A = this chain, B = another copy of it.
Amino acid sequence: MTDLPLTTLTRVRRGAHHQVTDRAALYDVIDGALYATLAIVRDDRPIALPVGIGRDGDDLLVHGSTGSDFFRRIAAGAPVCVTVTHLMGLKYARSLFDSSMRYRCAVVHGVASVVRPEEKEAALLALSEHLMPGRSADVRPMTSREIAATMVLRIPLAEASVKDNAGSLVEVDDDGEDRRVWAGMLPLRVVAGEPVTSAQTVAGVAVPESVRRAARRIQESGTA
């Protein structure tokens, strides 16, 4: 895989030593995320909303209603910024100034292209596989009406930056801070609870393996 390019948009300006240009790190951040914050410019103002995401090779996938003004603007070529953040912990330094958060974050810049009708079902299945792996085999196929009502957008993972400050310490050797003050990390993770069966599901129908698998994926990565 090629490294992520450093451009005006992707060169991290603050905390640059935490920038990671390994493309695999970008895919790892995205694959461990169920949603991203998708930002566009509308009437000279920023507007940023959470959206479910998927990945198909070197493209990020998002989907929305064909009736959505937000998605229509993106389909029409409005530049997007897609931000994925995994908060991994709170870093308690010996001063408030040096305290911070531990996180992994990806920021993708680009212009989306609309997935063509003949490729839409495959793209929707890729999204479904990302969000609810194996679920498509549990349920009926999508109808052509459902497919038509959904817009799928492809955003190339070409101009993107990743920041990961996991390696940074809460202390340095000679910082002059009082080491009798506790310093450390409060780790944070996302966990999945026990699946809740809906009231109308026929009695005795077991929680599918696909749902257990989604729960395990989250348990293992600690992210969603």
Contacts and interface: CB of A to CB of B under 8 A. Distances in A.
B192 A188 contact: yes
Interface in A147-175: 149-150, 169-171, 173
Interface residues of A, number: 96
B139 A95 contact: yes
A78 to B, nearest CB: 8
Contacts of A87: 34-35, 50, 190, 224
Determine chain A's interface SS by DSSP, over half rule: mixed
Interface string A102-135: 0101010100000000000000100010011001
B186 A200 contact: no
A102 to B, nearest CB: 10
B50 A85 contact: yes
Residue among A80, A99, A183, A218 facing the most chain B CB atoms (10 A cut-off): A183
Interface of A: 9, 13-14, 34-35, 37, 39-41, 44-50, 52, 64-65, 67-70, 79-81, 83, 85, 87, 90, 92-97, 99-101, 103, 105, 107, 109, 124, 128, 131-132, 135-136, 138-140, 142-143, 146, 149-150, 169-171, 173, 177-202, 205-208, 211, 214-215, 218, 224
A182 B138 contact: yes
A197 B186 CA distance: 9
A186 B206 contact: no
A199 B179 CA distance: 10
A81 B40 CA distance: 10
Given A13-B69, A49-B83, A107-B49, A200 B188 contact: no
